[in-house]
């Protein structure tokens, strides 16, 4: 449904994840005359394979729209995302867009961030141990993300540390505190970024534009 927002002549950012992969497939079928900037290597590979016209932020400093997914979204439309290691690029692409469209299923809606997912933090390998200790001082429980005991590398070639926080009451404040730590590139808290949510559920898709409708939907589906 979100793919239908793309019109001829638009320059559109693409996030990452399984939901965005489905959007890319739908875009290839609808085939609007648009140009795309992919925030992750996986989305770029899929978009290229399906014949979408790709470009970069070097060519387009402003995007008409970005379509992305999320791991958690709260009533303020603040989000946790980026467990695949692309959150830094996703945040840059979102910042460049006039409108940020987030596509999720209803299970991603939460009353408070941190209920189901930790906050992914991109960390320079040189500073891994130091930064992990500093993240713990913020009250989190940081764990280096690995696959088969090998550190997962982000799209930028850095490490990913996942940090559990006991309830996130102020996403914007915590986002800033994490990013102020030496060794941190960026983190997966996206505060004040999303403009509209497309929420998939058993009956179809609901568009949420404000906190009141979010809470009403959450209550109806709980």
Give me the active site residues, please. 90
Residue 81 to residue 169: CA distance in whole angstroms: 17
For residues 134, 191, 44, 117, the Cα torsion angle rounded to the nearest 10 degrees is 60
CA angle (140, 145, 149) in 5-degree steps: 135
- Strand-pairing partners, residue 159, are 123, 153
45: enclosing H helix or E strand: helix 41-49
Give the pair of three-digit tokens for residue 38.
């992919």
- Strand-pairing partners, residue 150, are 147
Long-range Cβ contacts of 141-145 (<8 Å, 24+ apart): 141/165, 143/118, 145/83, 145/120
* Residue 34: C-alpha distances to residues 6, 30, 31, 53 (Å): 7, 11, 8, 7
Among 113, 119, 64, 66, smallest CA distance to 89 is for 66
């Amino acid at each position: 449904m979100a793919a239908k927002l793309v019109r001829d002549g638009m320059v559109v950012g693409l996030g990452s994840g399984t939901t965005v992969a489905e959007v890319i497939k739908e875009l290839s079928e609808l085939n609007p005359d648009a140009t795309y900037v992919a925030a992750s290597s996986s989305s770029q590979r899929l978009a290229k394979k399906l014949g979408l016209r790709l470009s970069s932020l070097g060519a387009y400093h402003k995007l008409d729209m970005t379509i992305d997914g999320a791991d958690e979204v709260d009533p303020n439309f603040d989000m946790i995302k980026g467990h695949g290691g692309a959150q830094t690029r996703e945040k840059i692409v979102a910042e460049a867009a006039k409108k940020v469209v987030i596509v999720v299923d209803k299970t991603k809606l939460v009353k408070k961030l941190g209920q189901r997912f930790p906050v992914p933090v991109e960390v320079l390998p040189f500073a891994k141990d130091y930064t992990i200790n500093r993240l713990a001082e913020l009250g989190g429980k940081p764990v280096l993300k690995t696959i088969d005991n090998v550190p997962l590398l982000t799209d930028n070639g850095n490490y990913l540390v996942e940090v559990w926080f006991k309830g996130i009451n102020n996403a914007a404040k915590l986002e800033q505190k994490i990013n102020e730590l030496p060794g941190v590139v960026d983190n997966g808290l996206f505060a004040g970024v999303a403009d509209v949510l497309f929420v998939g559920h058993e009956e179809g898709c609901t568009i949420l534009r404000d906190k009141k409708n979010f809470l009403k939907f959450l209550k109806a589906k709980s």
